[in-house]
Amino acid sequence: MSRSLYTVLLHLAMPYALVRLWWRGRREPGYRRHIGERFGRYPEASEARRDGPLLWLHAVSVGEVRGAAPLVRALRAAYPRHAVLITCTTAAGRETARQVFGEAVRIAFFPYDLPWVVRRFFDHFRPQIALVMETEVWPNVLAACEARGVPAVLVNARLSEKSARGYRRVGMLARRAFASFRAVCAQDAESAARLKTLGAQDVTITGNLKFDAEPDEALLAQGRMLKASLAGRKVLLLASTRDGEEKMLLEALGMPLADWLLVLVPRHPQRFDEVAALVAARGLGLARRSRREAPMPATALYLGDTMGEMALYYALADVAVIGGSFAPFGAQNLIEACAVGVPVVIGPSCYNFPEATRLACAAGAALQVTDAAGAARAVRELLDDGARRAAMGEAGVRLCAAHRGSTGRHLEVIRAALGAPQP
C-alpha cells in the first residue's frame, strides 16, 4: 500500500472516527473534550504551547503513560531548559498523564494522521524530537518528522509475531515508516529481530522501562494502612481486569470466599458501574473505593473504581491475578505487582508482556495458568501457604531490581539522536 492510498482511506474513515468519539463519550466524557486537538487546533493561549525547545513523547493510553514515567522524569532532569509534551490517544491516557505529571509537562491529544492535521501540529509545537512509546507507527507523522528534520525514536518498543504479520500485510507502507525512525529502543531480542525485518534501523536492546518505575510511596502507605484494618483477612486482587474476565473469575473462585476479601480493579473506568452491577447481581457485599466506603467484615468484594491508585491496591494484596490474560487481550502489567512484592498469577494470554512473564515465572515470582479454573486453584494454594507467598514476593522484588537501568540506556540513544555528545 502506498502512503497516498493510506491517506485517502484515512480521510474516508474520518466520519466514522468522529461518530466513534462521540459514542465513546457517552461513558467517558473526556472523548468529547478537546476534539480540536485531534485536528491540530489549539487555542492561541493554550497552555500546551511553549516557546523554546520542546521534547515530544507519544504514549497512546494508560499503560504507556505509566510506563513512560521514568523516562519523562529523566528527560526533565537531563534537559531542564526543554519543555516536555505528552500526547495520548485515549481519554483515560490523557487523564493519567495529568495525574502522574501534573503541571510538569504539556498534555494534548495525538493528532489524526492526516497530512494537513500533522502540519498544524508541527507548526504549533515545533518539537526537537519525537519519542514514540512501544509500537505506535503513523506514516504521515513519521514522514513529517523526516521532512522537518525532527529525529523520531521508537522507545520501549515491543512487537509480537502477530503484530509483525499485520505490518507485513501493508508492505512498503510499513517498511518506509519503520525505516524512518532515527533509532529504535527494543525491550528484548525477539522484538528487536522482528523490528529489523520490518525495516527498522539502528536497533538497540535497552530493556523494559516499566522495570524502572517506582511505586508511589504515599499510595503504598495508604494500602498498608487499609490492610492493617482488615483484622487479618487475606486479600486477593484481580488487577486490571478486562471485559468478560470478571464473570469467569468470580465463577471459578466460587464467591463469596470465607475469610478472604476480594479486591477487583477493572482496567477501564467506563466499566466501573457495569462491574458493580455484576457484583450486586450475585448478591455479594460490596464496598466502592470511589465512594470512600471502607471494607467491613460483611464486605465480600472491594471495588477499586478509581484511577491512578494501583500501588495502593497492590500494597493491600496478598496475591494478585493479572487481568487481560484470561481473555485474548495480551495481559496487563505484571511488573507493578512484582515491584511491590506481591505474588502473581497470570493467565495464558500474555503477548503484551512475553519477556516479563517469562522472567517472572523463571524467577519464581509468578505462576502462569491455562484458564480461570487454574487461577482459582493456584490462588487457594498460595493463600494457604504464607511461606511460599513470601518467597514469591521477594523473588519479584529481586527481579525488578536486577532489570533496572533501561532509562539510562534510553537516554544514551536519545542524546545521540539529538546530536548531543555522549556523557
The CATH number of residue 247's host domain is 3.40.50.2000
For residue 39, tell me if it sits in a domain: yes
Residue 47, pLDDT above cutoff 60? no
Cell numbers at residue 14, please? 474520518
- Find the mean pLDDT for residues 351-355: 90
- Find the mean pLDDT for residues 158-182: 92
* pTM of this structure: 0.88
- Find the mean pLDDT for residues 149-168: 93
For residue 341, tell me if it sits in a domain: yes
At 27 the pLDDT is: 85
At 50 the pLDDT is: 53
Give the tens place of pLDDT for each residue, 70-82: 999 999 999 999 9
Q: List 183's β-bridge partners, or say none.
A: 153
For residue 423, tell me if it sits in a domain: no
At 4 the pLDDT is: 93
For residue 252, tell me if it sits in a domain: yes
Residue 193 shares a structural domain with residue 226: no
Instruction: Please provide the average confidence, as pLDDT, over all residues in the chain.
Output: 93
Residue 129 shares a structural domain with residue 161: yes
Give the tens place of pLDDT for each residue, 402-417: 999 999 999 999 999 9
The CB density around residue 185, as the number of other CB atoms within 10 Å, is 26
Nearest to 235 by CA among 265, 262, 254: 262
The CATH number of residue 83's host domain is 3.40.50.11720
Q: Which residues contact 19 (CB under 8 A, 6 or more apart)?
A: none
Measured distance CA(399)–CA(248) in Å, rounded? 30
For residue 212, tell me if it sits in a domain: no
Which phi and psi (to 5°) does residue 58 adopt? Answer: -105, 125
For residue 310, tell me if it sits in a domain: yes
- What's the burial of 415, exposed, middle or buried (CB within 10 Å: 0-12/13-18/19+)? middle
Q: How does residue 283 score in pLDDT terms, banded at 50, 70 and 90?
A: confident
Residue 270, pLDDT above cutoff 80? yes
Residues marked active site are found at: 64
Mean pLDDT lowest among 50-54, 206-210, 371-375? 50-54
Residue 344 belongs to what domain range?
217-402
Nearest to 299 by CA among 250, 274, 263: 263
Rounded to the nearest 10 degrees, how much is the dihedral formed by the CA atoms of 187, 189, 194, 199?
Answer: 80
- Find the mean pLDDT for residues 95-116: 95
- Find the mean pLDDT for residues 271-277: 93
Residue 187 shares a structural domain with residue 230: no
Residue 164 shares a structural domain with residue 238: no
